[in-house]
Amino acid sequence: MRVWIVFVLCLAGHAMAAPTEEEAIVDELVTEEPVVEVGANPVQIEVGEFDEAIDIGEEVEEVAAEDLCLNYHCKKGKVCEVDEGNTPMCVCQDPSTCPPAEGDFEHVCGTDNKTYDSSCHFFATKCTLEGTKKGHKLHLDYVGPCKFIEPCLDTELNEFPLRMRDWLKNVLVTLYERDQDNNLLTEKQKLRVKKIHENEKRLQAGPHSLDLLAHDFEKNYNMYIYPVHWQFGQLDQHPVDGYLTHTELSPLRAPLIPMEHCTTRFFEKCDADDDKYIALEEWAACFGLKEQDVDKDLII
């Protein structure tokens, strides 16, 4: 079973903070409760929600004839059907067969700035547009209904990586602290995070002034190298190739946009060569890492 990670972004005071004790639950998915609470801070974010969007291919496994669809996986927006020749295949899901949304929190906003009832409705609709230019350009933009998002000013854009970097470091340290039986981190990862954890000069989680964050980055630069790589590795999964597609970036980007109006601009700028992929080198540069510190081996 997939492990779902609920991160909490506490954005009060315009600061990204690490998850607090009760709020960040790392758990197997056992409930179907609303996972994204928009409105009151802190906002819970279900990072697992969007990785279904990833094309996992249409793989066939040996199954008993009676249920050929049982182990036949279709990407989100498609469902399995058996054709006349008894061959299972993935076909577009009819959006009307999606479970009805239980509230606004299930709504998603597409890059067409249209609100869809749920991510199921979104992907089913996207599937019907497959092969068209419109379908190719349509992505899930963010969670929640479409809304007006303030333009991101240049000064704000420059502040964004400072807070994001600090937040990544805190997420990782928090995972480490709760890792006793969950095995969220591999032994190798734990060793690396242990060093950050033991750093006495480490800034505690919580809102910090931008000056302090900038100062800390300069002073404790080495401490930030691993968290930036780690996050890239978390996202670069389908496939693991050193590049992030829009879909791979979605688990991070989609919940962040409604709260952080510079998110879109930040990730657009990250793709420095504008090829629609964020390469590890581009990602690292976005977070202020030096070229010589980009290391593919840190990810595995």
Ligand X SMILES: *[C@@H]1O[C@H](CO)[C@@H](O)[C@H](O)[C@H]1NC(C)=O
> Two tokens at 217?
């980055």
Neighbours of 37 (CB within 10 A): 14
117 contacts which partner out of Ca ion, ligand X, none, CB within 5 to 8 A by kind? none
Minimal distance, residue 274 CB to ligand X, in Å:
20
Q: Decide whether 67 or 268 has the Cβ nearer to Ca ion.
A: 268
Q: Decide whether 117 or 236 has the Cβ nearer to Ca ion.
A: 236
Ranges within 106-145 binding ligand X (CB under 6 A): 113
The count of residues in the chain is 300
Query: Binding to ligand X by residue 80, rule CB under 6 A?
Result: no
Query: Binding to Ca ion by residue 275, rule CB under 5 A?
Result: yes
The Cα-based distances of 190 to 1, 58, 174 in angstroms read 22, 35, 11
Among 27, 241, 268, 295, binds Ca ion (CB under 5 A): 241
Among 25, 129, 146, 203, binds ligand X (CB under 6 A): 146
Of the candidates 3, 46, 2, the one whose C-alpha atom is nearest the C-alpha of residue 23 is 46
Judge whether 252 and 278 are in contact, CB under 8 Å: no
271 contacts which partner out of Ca ion, ligand X, none, CB within 5 to 8 A by kind? Ca ion
> Two tokens at 45?
């974010």
Q: Is the dihedral of CA 104, 106, 109, 114 positive or negative?
A: negative
Query: Binding to Ca ion by residue 271, rule CB under 5 A?
Result: yes
- Enumerate residues 6+ apart whose C-beta is below 8 A from 202: 169, 173, 196, 220, 223
Minimal distance, residue 110 CB to ligand X, in Å:
10
Query: Binding to Ca ion by residue 51, rule CB under 5 A?
Result: no
Q: Decide whether 70 or 153 has the Cβ nearer to ligand X.
A: 153
217 contacts which partner out of Ca ion, ligand X, none, CB within 5 to 8 A by kind? none
166 contacts which partner out of Ca ion, ligand X, none, CB within 5 to 8 A by kind? none
Minimal distance, residue 136 CB to Ca ion, in Å:
18
Q: Which amino acid is at 133?
A: K
H helix intervals, 178-299: 187-198, 210-219, 221-235, 246-256, 263-270, 280-286
Minimal distance, residue 114 CB to ligand X, in Å:
8
> Two tokens at 5?
């990670």
Ranges within 148-207 binding ligand X (CB under 6 A): 148
Minimal distance, residue 130 CB to Ca ion, in Å:
20
> Two tokens at 79?
């469902």
Minimal distance, residue 271 CB to ligand X, in Å:
20
Q: Decide whether 146 or 285 has the Cβ nearer to ligand X.
A: 146
Judge whether 75 and 56 are in contact, CB under 8 Å: yes
Q: Decide whether 87 or 113 has the Cβ nearer to ligand X.
A: 113
- Residues near Ca ion (CB under 5 A), total: 7
Of the candidates 179, 175, 224, the one whose C-alpha atom is nearest the C-alpha of residue 203 is 224
Judge whether 98 and 118 are in contact, CB under 8 Å: yes
Q: Decide whether 176 or 277 has the Cβ nearer to Ca ion.
A: 277
Judge whether 224 and 31 are in contact, CB under 8 Å: no
* Residue ranges that bind Ca ion, judged by CB under 5 A: 236, 241, 243, 271, 273, 275, 277
* Residue ranges that bind ligand X, judged by CB under 6 A: 113, 146-148
